[in-house]
A and B are shown apart, each in its own frame.
Chain A
Amino acid sequence: MIRLSLLCQCLLVALLLTCLGSLLHGSGIVWAMLHGNQTLPALQLQLLLQLRLPRLLVAICSGMLLSSAGAAIQARFRNPLAEPGLLGIYSGAALAAALALSLGAGILPVSLAGFAGSLLTLWLIRLLASPNGNGSRLILSGVAISALLGSLLTLLITTLPDGALRSITFWLMGSFSNAEWPQAWLLLLATPLVWLGLFRQWRLLNALQLGEATAFHLGFDIRRGAWLVVCLASIAAGVVVSSCGMIGFVGLLAPHLTRLLTGSDARRLLLAAPLLGAWLTVSADWLARSLLAPAELPVGVITSLLGAPFFLWLLRREQESPRA
């Protein structure tokens, strides 16, 4: 196990460097500076401030939100396969957003509809889950809701005209290309709040890993605390999915990777995972933008394309050396 502060510093440096690279890559600024041009063309500055910067901020924030929500959800349900979208939050958001798109709404209303959809799903699950805070029933309700909403979404998509179909597909695959300042501000506001809310629960999250009964015996009000964790994680998933679509695997992969470095203590995990998650999304976005430039790939494709094989390798490695 590496010392936590050292690890966080390393991650922070990696994140900053990647951010800088992603921000400046192809913008002509480095070129201009190398040639001693003191004044930046106004167009370049415009590009940086109006497109690149909000996009970068959205990527950072969604990485942080998804990975801290994933870490918390995995600890709460004692399930390494859990992720923020586990309870059908993604499906609910996607359905609501698709509905808004099919009605011809613009980007911002679609985002708002998506967020409202995720909150509605959360409320629905709250109604269905057992009152005593039983985790497995909560998961199963979520899976059923997710399947139901998913099929409704498919139904809706078959009726969409071509134009709307293209934009909903792009949205479903996840992309930062629509990111503008409004989304960036929303995420900048949500990220510290959600993270702080989750981080304050690190003791509960540790205790829950020992089982729900043990957590109660250790003095935690499971019903309230565990629901708070689920709510915060779902809100994080809802905010991200409604502003940039479904970005697969980050919420699953980042906590896993971090756990390899920090162990499963929730406090260490919640400190390091957001940095790693942000680094993942920023790198993925950079790749998505530059691989086939000037064409752009959906960032969700990159995260899943690279994340899935890597995750499989990780599983194999854990199986081979359980004591590693």
Chain B
Amino acid sequence: MLELEQVSLQRAGKRLLWQVSLQAVPGELCVILGPNGAGKSTLLQVMSGYLRPDSGRVRLGGQDTVGLSAARLASLRAVVEQQTTVPSGWRVSELVAAGSYFAAPGQQAAAMAQALTLTDTSRLAQRRLDSLSGGEVQRAHLARALCQLLASTQPERYLLLDEATAALDFAIADSQMAQWRQLAQDLHIGVVAVVHDLNLALRHADRVLLLQDGCSIAFGRTADIMQQARLEAIYGIRLAELISPDAGIRAFVPHTTR
């Protein structure tokens, strides 16, 4: 289990996180939702061990992240960052290989091949990153992170995604999130994603954490958490809930008069 216990964090006198708790389990997609500035990305950086909380605990598969080395952390979790940089001239295969730098030499090739297949990037492997579309670059970074997890021998592994759908059009974003959930189930890894789109979360998330001003408002099963009144309070606007009975789809849209 990936476990946050009463995590608080301050920077420069500003309270960024306040007593946030969360449990993510392998096989599920857990989504962190909240308005801009709520502390979603900060929370993810605390989970990844990049930021150390002022108080509270972060455990990855039962191990407290504070004492773990960077290499040890890397065998437990992989991260797709919000702003992924593309070094000039790199090929997709070189990027994905970076995920397996710490793997045993025998496992590298297998992990790479599997990561490329899972993300449907095998045919892009020899392409240069700067010649790819935004969605393809995103998939390449996902493959890099997956490769890191596949090369690890740890029993419990987690994939952390920070606004990984931000630059994608809604159709690609939707298929990406469906894929994360599928990967979580197939590989039995825990996926935690920061997402901005309420409806993507509603459609794909197993669990949702609602965050506002660094505080956890609610955490639990998606259907229980994503209630209209609660979302209206967090985002400070009126919402309308749309339901398509035959497709079985719910969606929230802003309910404002123009």
Mark A residues whose CB is within 8 Å of B.
78, 203, 206-207, 209-211, 213-214, 216-222, 259, 263-265, 322-323
Contact = CB atoms under 8 A, between A and B. Distances in A.
A219 B90 contact: no
Nearest to B83: A211
A218 B76 CA distance: 11
Contacts of B50: 213, 216-217
B71 A221 contact: yes
7 contacts: A209-B85, A211-B83, A211-B84, A218-B101, A219-B71, A264-B87, A323-B128
A217 B74 contact: yes
Contacts of B87: 78, 209-210, 264
Contact of B78 (A217, A221, A322): A217
Nearest 4 Cβ contacts at the A-B interface = A219-B74, A209-B87, A217-B79, A219-B71
Interface of B: 45, 48, 50, 69-71, 73-75, 78-79, 81, 83-85, 87-91, 94-95, 98-99, 101-102, 128, 130-131, 148
A217 B88 CA distance: 20
Contacts of A264: 87-90
Nearest to B90: A264
Contacts of A211: 81, 83-85
A323 B70 contact: no
The B contact surface, by secondary structure, is: mixed
Given A209-B87, A216-B50, A259-B89, 20 more contacts: A203-B98, A206-B98, A206-B101, A210-B84, A211-B83, A213-B81, A214-B81, A216-B70, A217-B74, A218-B74, A219-B73, A219-B75, A219-B148, A221-B70, A221-B71, A263-B89, A263-B91, A264-B88, A264-B89, A323-B130
A265 B101 contact: no
A207 B81 contact: no
Contacts of B101: 203, 206-207, 218-219
B84 A214 contact: yes
A219 B130 CA distance: 25
A278 to B, nearest CB: 24
Nearest to A214: B81
Contact of B102 (A214, A219, A259): A219
A259 B90 CA distance: 11
The A contact surface, by secondary structure, is: loop
B98 A218 contact: yes
Contacts of A203: 98, 101
Contacts of A221: 69-71
Nearest to B145: A217
Contacts of B73: 219
B12 to A, nearest CB: 14
A135 to B, nearest CB: 13
A117 to B, nearest CB: 34
Nearest to A204: B101
A218 B94 contact: no
B44 to A, nearest CB: 11
Nearest to B70: A221
A222 B70 contact: yes
Contacts of B84: 210-211, 214
Contacts of B131: 323
A217 B98 contact: no
Contacts of B99: 218
Contacts of B85: 78, 209-211, 214
A263 B74 contact: no
A257 B112 CA distance: 30
B7 to A, nearest CB: 19
A169 B162 CA distance: 54
A259 B89 CA distance: 9
A315 to B, nearest CB: 13
A263 B95 CA distance: 13
A119 to B, nearest CB: 28
Nearest to A80: B88
A323 B102 CA distance: 31
| Residue of B98, B130, B131 ringed by the most chain A CB atoms within 10 A | B98
A219 B73 CA distance: 7
A209 B84 CA distance: 11
A264 B85 CA distance: 14
Nearest to B152: A219
Contacts of A210: 84-85, 87, 95, 98
Nearest to A225: B70
B225 to A, nearest CB: 28
